[in-house]
């Protein structure tokens, strides 16, 4: 069965607007990234929103949860800004017990040469295929249980809470 990918925005998909000099969201780079990775995993990509995760509201999170619950797929990847990824993961973990949901993102926009995005996408796609049911964050080459992860604001790295 296909893997469902829900796009919500985040650093991953930020572009540089050369007229205004600001970072903004255009289209998701997911299809381009999967093509570059020569991925042969059947996926179904749907963009739910394109926002900075610091601006994500409870209503946005409800929307993500509802889509995860209603999806026919049992394996789901959610691309997400890193700042509140752990918060969304925790909320999803309270509602979804019978699917494998992996949240991932990037510290640097994909279009920057120094982005971690392609690496993270490769690992998220692998984790969602192999981890048991549950909600996880896939960052820094590792996976974290949704109820035991936080982003260290100083180092920018994800780590266990306890």
Binding site for its own copies (CB under 8 A): 11, 16, 18-19, 21, 23, 33-34, 36-41, 52, 83, 107-109, 111-116, 118-127, 129-131, 138-143, 153-154, 156-158
> Cβ of residue 152: shortest distance to its own copies, in angstroms?
10
Mark 34-57 as b/e (b = at least 16 C-beta within 10 Å). Answer: beeeeeeeebebebbebbbbeebe
Residue 76 in contact with residue 102, Cβ under 8 Å?
A: yes
Nearer to its own copies, 57 or 114 (CB): 114
Nearer to its own copies, 90 or 151 (CB): 151
> Cβ of residue 154: shortest distance to its own copies, in angstroms?
7
CA-based R_g, the chain, Å: 15
Nearer to its own copies, 148 or 157 (CB): 157
> Cβ of residue 43: shortest distance to its own copies, in angstroms?
9
> Cβ of residue 105: shortest distance to its own copies, in angstroms?
11
Nearer to its own copies, 27 or 62 (CB): 27
Residue 117 in contact with residue 33, Cβ under 8 Å?
A: yes
Gap between the Cα atoms of 49 and 74, Å rounded = 21
Gap between the Cα atoms of 157 and 118, Å rounded = 17
């Amino acid at each position: 069965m296909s893997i469902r990918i829900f796009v919500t925005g985040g650093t991953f998909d930020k572009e540089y607007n050369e007229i205004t000099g600001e970072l903004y969201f255009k289209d998701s780079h997911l299809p381009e990234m999967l093509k570059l990775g020569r991925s042969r995993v059947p996926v179904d990509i749907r963009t739910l929103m394109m926002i900075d995760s610091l601006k994500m509201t409870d209503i946005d999170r409800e929307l993500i949860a509802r889509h995860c619950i209603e999806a026919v797929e049992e394996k789901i990847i959610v691309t997400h800004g890193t700042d509140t990824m752990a918060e969304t993961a925790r909320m999803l973990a309270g509602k979804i017990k019978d699917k494998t949901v992996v949240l991932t993102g990037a510290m640097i926009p994909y279009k920057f040469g120094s982005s971690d995005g392609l690496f993270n996408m490769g690992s998220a796609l692998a984790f969602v295929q192999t981890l048991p049911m549950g909600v996880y964050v896939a960052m820094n080459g590792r996976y974290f249980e949704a109820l035991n992860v936080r982003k260290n604001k100083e180092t920018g790295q994800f780590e266990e809470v306890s």
